[in-house]
Amino acid sequence: MKRLDLIFGERELDAMLESLEKAQVPGYTVMKHVTGRGPERVVSEDMEFTGLGANAHVIIFCEEELLQKIKKNVEPLLNYYGGVAYVSEATPL
């Protein structure tokens, strides 16, 4: 199985989860209040009270077959708003 890590702006979380649901993921885990830096932007903790919002980190464990479908769904969001997506191997305990 695969593990997919998505990191992107908290404010896109609802849209992102919706598009994951459309790809029929078996489940997901969300961590909010995440900060970080990408090639262009710094996301700091004070962005939580200003309107910008911090980042969210979403983890999905799923079959490899699903990845293409997920990719098709989340790529527009990542391209528009920024964010990263990485895949690694994972096997159930």
Ligand X SMILES: Nc1ncnc2c1ncn2[C@@H]1O[C@H](COP(=O)(O)O)[C@@H](O)[C@H]1O
Residues that bind a second copy (CB under 8 A): 1, 3-5, 7, 26-39, 45, 55, 57, 59, 61, 67, 70-71, 74-75, 84-93
Taking the C-alpha atoms of residue 92 and residue 47, their distance in angstroms, rounded to an integer, is: 36
Q: Tell me the torsion sign for CA atoms 83, 76, 80, 39.
A: positive
Q: Does 47 bind ligand X (CB under 6 A)?
A: no
The length of the chain is: 93
Q: Does 84 bind another protein (CB under 8 A)?
A: no
Taking the C-alpha atoms of residue 12 and residue 75, their distance in angstroms, rounded to an integer, is: 13
Site string for another protein, 3-32 (x = CB under 8 A): ------x-x--------------------x
